[in-house]
Each structure stands twice: as structure tokens, then as C-alpha cells.
Amino acid sequence: MAVPPDSPDTTVTAQPVAAGQKKARRKKATAKKSVAKKSSPVKSAAKGPSAQKAGATSTATTSDDRIPASLQHMPVSLFSAGLGLAGFAIAWRETGIAYGIGPIPGIIFIGIAIGIFLILLGLYGLKTVRHRQAVLDELNHPIQGNLFATATMTMMILSSSLIGLSHGLATLIWSVAAIANMAITVRVVTKWISRDNHISHATPIWFIPVVGNLVTPIVGAPLGYTGISWMVFAVGLLFWIILFTVVFYRLLFERAMEKPLRPTLAILLAPPSLCFTAYAVLNGGHIDGTAQMFFGIAVFMLLILIPQVKAMLQMPFGLSAWSCTFPMAAFSVAAILYADAIDSGFAHGLAIAAILITTLIIAIVGTKTIGYILAGKVFRPVETPLPTP
């Protein structure tokens, strides 16, 4: 006897078979779509260069994060922090003398500057022992190599605070630092002459080793070395004029400096400020026409740099921000000495404004640096941008 088509036995058997076939078809279709999505060049290209670039950046960042923090990556630019704090301490020392505040603020800041500099010196000394090649790479770098002079300049500035305590110790530290700074200057200038350079490599950082010689007479003359101080002053003055021409030409006719280097524009303020202070010290504190000329150039450079402040504040924080601190501190010292000699309301107002702005800059940069250290970013590899001609 035939079984009717709508018999219960047929229905029960047919439903599972049909359901199984549908599920199998769905799985095959899903698998095909997945394979097509992975292998499709169209969709990969549809992401566009910006998406690919973002992916590359993300990969690079992740790769950098995976690199363990190491003393090998301690940048020599950290000595800029010691230099800025040393200049800031001297500025407050001169402020205390000129305005009757007393020596306490200056002594406190000098103590902080000495402590931080000794820590930096110890860490970099350890890096030199353990990672000699990394130090040599920095020394031979067209930009980073100039920053070694920040350590010698800091030593000279801090030695001036020891004159009243131990004239012999102050003389010893100043002598070692001044000779080392001159040696760095000779090495840097020799490399400039003996190898190919491109104008795009010229940055305000080039001022540091050669113009660092302007710090030598500021400390050397009070120690009694007036003759040698005049000679070293001439070297610093000569190369300030030469390098200002070169760097200004680069700023006018080459592409803009990379963002991490733009705060170094503040270094342009340091040479005329140091020229004024050094000349005034060598001239026995007398402010003549030449001294006023140097101070006028410093004020003019400050006016040029003020419009750059907004752009600098919009950039991500980096250790190069410390390059703004010493120039402002140097200008503050010059302004205080000028106001004390001229004794005019405008000069005193300028001096007070300078020291207050310098204090604000130090507070902001110092606070951000502490956050930078706590985030573990100091001993990570960081490339110093070197423009390609």
C-alpha cells in the first residue's frame, strides 16, 4: 500500500534534511564572503593612503612602546634642563640683590639646579660607560652633537655660585668647563669646515657650543681672568654674528623647521643677552653705548619671538621645550643688570616682567617634564628630526 505524500513519516524525515542543506549553504556562502574580503585588493585599496598611514603610525607607536626603557636612550638634550635651571637660579640671585628680596630664593634655586645637574651628569656618565656607541652617535649627530655644550655651560654658571664659598673650587670647575667648552667649539667648527653640510641642517642649536663661550667671561672676569675672558668673548661674538646670518638665511629661504625643533627658535634670544652681560662684567659694570647696543638687540629679538609663542604652545610637549628656559633666564639677568644701572621705570618694569615670565615658563616646563618622566617617555628612543636637503 502506498504511503500518501503528506504522511507523517515523510514530513518528519524531510524537514531535518532540508534544514541541514540550508545551514550548509549558509556556511559555504559565509566562508566565500570571508575569503573574498581578505583577498580583495579593491577593499584594501579603498582604505586609502591616509588609513594605511594611520595603520603604519599605529604600528610604529606600538613598536616603540614595546621597546623597554633603557639608559641607552637618555638624550643629551636633558642637559638643557640643567642649563635652564642654572640660569633661572642666577636670575633670581640677581633679582634678590637688585630689589632687596634677599638671597634665600636664589640659594634655594641654585641648590635645586646643582642637585638636578649632578643627577643628570651621573646618569649620562653611566650611559657613557655602558652604551659608548650611543654616546658617540649623539656626538657625531649634526644637531645633537651641539648639545654637549649645555653641560659645560651649566658647570660654568653654577661655579659662579661657589665664588663666595671657595674661590679655588670655583676656579677649578670654571677652568675645566671653559676648556671643555672651547674643545667642543673647536671640534664642531672643524666638522663644519671639513664635511659636507646643507643649509637645511642649520638650526638655532648650532649657537650653543660657539656662543657658549660668552658664558666664560661672565664667570672668568670675577675670578680674575680678565685677559683670557676678553679673548674668549671675542670668539663667541664672532660666531654669533656668523651663525645668526646662516640660521636667519635658512629660516627665510628653506622649509619651516620640524615641529620638535621649533621651540629652539628661543635660542636666538640668548646670544645678545649674554653679549650684554659679558661685556658689562668685563667693563666693570659700566653700561656704555656698546652695552646698550647689545641690550637693544636682545629686546628686538624678544619682540620677534613673542608672535611665535602661540604656535609653540599648540605643539605637543617634548624635551626641546627646555630650550626656551635658558634664553629667557639670560635675558632676565641682562634686564636686571640694565635696570640696576640705568634706574628707569621702564627698565625696572621690563626686568620684573622678564623674571616673572621666566618663572612661569620654568614652572610649566618643569611640571610637564615630571609628567613626561612618570609616563616613562624619557628613556625611550626618540629620533631628532634631520631635514633632508
Q: Which residue has the cell 628707569?
A: 344
- 32 domain residue, yes or no: no
Q: What's the rounded Cα separation, in Å, for the pair 236 and 262?
A: 23
For residues 268 and 251, is the Cβ–Cβ distance under 8 A? no
CATH of the domain at 204: 1.50.10.150
**Sorting pLDDT into bands at 50, 70 and 90, what band is 67?**
low
pLDDT of 42 above 70: no
- 335 domain residue, yes or no: yes
Q: Structural domain of residue 106, as residue ranges?
A: 70-374
- 36 domain residue, yes or no: no
- 385 domain residue, yes or no: no
- What is the tens place of the pLDDT at every residue in 296-337? 999 999 999 988 887 777 777 777 788 889 999 999 999 999
- 260 domain residue, yes or no: yes
Q: What's the rounded Cα separation, in Å, for the pair 212 and 205?
A: 11
For residues 177 and 156, is the Cβ–Cβ distance under 8 A? yes
- 124 domain residue, yes or no: yes
Sequence-ordered strand ranges (E) for the chain:
none
| The three cell numbers locating residue 361 | 615658563
- What is the tens place of the pLDDT at every residue in 352-380? 999 999 999 999 999 998 888 887 777 76
Percent of the chain topping pLDDT 90? 46
For residues 232 and 175, is the Cβ–Cβ distance under 8 A? no
Q: What pLDDT, on a 0 to 100 scale, did the predictor assign at position 382?
A: 60
Count of domains for the chain: 1
pTM: 0.78
- 245 domain residue, yes or no: yes
Q: Give the torsion through C-alpha atoms of 24, 25, 28, 33, to 10 deg.
A: -140
Q: Give the torsion through C-alpha atoms of 201, 202, 207, 208, to 10 deg.
A: -10
